[in-house]
Amino acid sequence: MPTVFNALPGIEVPAGLINKSFADMWTSAAAGGRPSPASDYTKATQINLVIHLGFGTTCEDAAAQFQVAVNFSRRYPCRVVILCPLPLDDTSTDRIRAKIYGECHLGKTKGDTRCVEFVALSYPMSARRFLESQVSVCLSTDLPLYYWVHRFSSARRLIDYQYLLLNSRRVILDSAVIPQGFAAYAWPRPEAFRDLALARTLPIRQGIGQFLSACPPSELTGDIASVRVSHAPQYAAEAAALLGWARERLLACGMAENTPATLEPAPADDAPLSLDFGYTTTDRRFHWEGNPDAGTSAIDAILCRGPAQMSAPISLLSPEAALSEAMFF
């Protein structure tokens, strides 16, 4: 039966010889005339990234997330460790298996070479207690650690990984592929969590924010009666993130805490995403709607500067761009 670990590219090596195997791999690449890191390569590595693939991850999904990490690492050279837990009922082994992968990219000059290294670790629950020690050996020392959790079905299972939760600068989730309320769990460092769904909406939030910034805060929140986001099913996570962002920003502008903020399905013939501010007076309104698939958005509003209608291109961030947004901002 194929496993997530087997679906990932790389060369299987003994878990205790990962660093030596990397050195041998790069020596072999250099001897064969393929791009390989220079002796001072470690100075170019910027971060450590641990990707934890939950039980809900399929082989195809694992390969897709691996490619996201490759694309990301081309801009931010890093050591990537991918954790692949075996199913709870798998008792076929009691040892941790390891696989390594590396690639280099040549820029305009030889000195612009960028190389990235991946370690995949497959482990049964019986070897769980040794995992933190094995991960620490794989990471580059003295560099910040980031932890990306993908398709975990239970917050209680994640809470077992205290080493990663406590030592990571950011813990990254995607509310589109985890159970509702997962991020609201009583985590040891809730301030470190970031949602990829919110990160993907950055272009939308920038466009809306630039338009609204022309109005004084009191003009936006005076007489505001409601905030509403409607969405097509495929944008449920992005819609929830957009609503949370809009409410947070309006509260900072003086909106009352008890102002209704609702999330609702969009009618079939409406835009797949929309944001509305309702006011107690009929001569004020704000309506934004967008279709990320089509790349279009529009605003129809009557606010501080009178009636305004405008359209603009819009899109969600690519997976690797959303990852960098969630990690660094």
Residues 243-286: pLDDT tens digits?
A: 999 999 999 999 999 999 999 999 999 999 999 999 998 889 99
Q: Which of 53, 43, 13 is nearest to 137 (CA)?
A: 13
pLDDT in tens, 193-247: 999 999 999 999 999 999 999 999 999 999 999 999 999 999 999 999 999 999 9
Q: What is the pTM of this model?
A: 0.93
> DSSP of 103-169, one letter per residue?
EEE--SSGGG-EEEEEEEEEE-GGGGGGHHHHHHHHSPTTS-EEEEEES-S-HHHHTT-HHHHHH-S
The 10 Å CB-count burial string (b at 16+, else e) for 125-156 is: bebeeebeebbeebbeeeebbbbbbbbbeebe
Q: Please, how many CA atoms are within 13 Å of residue 269, restricted to the half-sphere of its CB?
A: 0
β-strands 97-105, 11-13: how paired?
Answer: antiparallel
More confident of the two residues 74 and 61: 61
- Given a cut of 80, whether residue 41 has pLDDT beyond it is no
Please provide the average confidence, as pLDDT, over all residues in the chain: 92
Predicted local distance difference test score (pLDDT) of residue 42: 46
Q: Between β-strands 261-265 and 224-231, what pairing exists: parallel, antiparallel or unpaired? A: parallel
Using CB atoms within 10 A of its CB, is residue 24 exposed (0-12), middle (13-18) or buried (19+)?
Answer: middle
How much is the pLDDT for 48? 96
| Averaged pLDDT for residues 49-74 | 96
Matching residue, tokens 């809730």: 190
Separation between Cα atoms, residue 102 and residue 173, nearest integer Å: 25
* Average of per-residue pLDDT across 53-63: 96
pLDDT tens for 76-125 read 889 999 999 999 888 889 999 999 999 887 666 666 677 889 999 999 99
Residue 278, helix vs strand vs coil: strand
Residue 177 token pair = 């592929």
Query: How do residues 276-324 score in pLDDT, each as one tens digit?
Result: 999 998 889 999 999 999 999 999 999 998 999 999 999 999 999 999 9
- The domain locations on the chain are 4-168, 202-313
